[in-house]
Amino acid sequence: MRAAEDRRTHLVTGAGSGIGACVARALLDRGDDLLLVARDEARARELEQEYAGARTLVADLADIASIAPLDLTGPLDSVVHAAGVVALGAVGELSAGDWRSQLDVNLLAPAELTRIALPSLRAARGTVVLVNSGAGLRANPGWAAYAASKFGLRALADALRQEEAEHGVRVTTVHPGRTATPMQEQVHAHEGREYDAQEWIDPATVAATVLHVLDLPRDATIPDLTLSPGPRA
């Protein structure tokens, strides 16, 4: 557990499962304070029970207008954007709604949430971590909409990093390869492949990487970081 004077406050999205859940649990277990984004009041109560002592903010990341009223004043040492959605399909098959849902949750919501959080992040000389994807580095067949949202997220991070350097805010993009999460199960189902979590990165490993970024001494920053599944000997 961290000493009281070392406790920090982190805003985390996607704490309900996968990488976001592992990040939230690791931060809470070491004694830091959490602000968790929940899509509705019922989900907020569930997260408060799961993460004892955490505070919740109600906003549906698929509804950008619901983010603007959030009160993010007060201490805020980091924002970790771990929420995301995926809808795979060829360009000739994807609907406008498929594109819109992924762009809203994966790109516009992080941009809006970061904008609102910036005054508090500047005051704390805090860190923004954007959990991206290998799809933010390359686009493969069937992944156009998801990759577009993640390419955009990388562009957001690159611009934000340069804009906020003068305020002492650090910005890191983490690009995990395939990770053993519910989203990965969904992807395998779409691909018609058998899912074996042991083949992919443990989400706790990605969470440990995020914590490394958050704990990095002030004399350095990590702009981009890529993780790939390790060899299975």
* Overall average pLDDT of the 78-104 stretch: 97
Q: Is pLDDT at 5 greater than 90 in this prediction?
A: no
What tokens does 164 get? Answer: 């906020």
pLDDT, mean over the chain: 94
The per-residue pLDDT for range 157-206, each reduced to its tens digit, is 999 999 999 999 999 999 999 997 888 888 888 888 888 878 889 999 99
Candidates 51, 146, 151, 200; catalytic one:
146
pTM over 0.85: yes
pLDDT at 119 over 80: yes
51 is catalytic: no
- HEC profile for the chain? CCCHHHCCEEEEECCCCHHHHHHHHHHHHCCCEEEEEECCHHHHHHHHHHCCCCEEEECCCCCHHHCCCCCCCCCCCEEEECCCCCCCCCCCCCCHHHHHHHHHHHHHHHHHHHHHHHHHHHHHCCEEEEECCHHHCCCCCCCHHHHHHHHHHHHHHHHHHHHHHHHCCEEEEEEECCECCHHHHHHHHHHCCCCCHHHCECHHHHHHHHHHHHHCCCCCCCCEEEECCCCCC
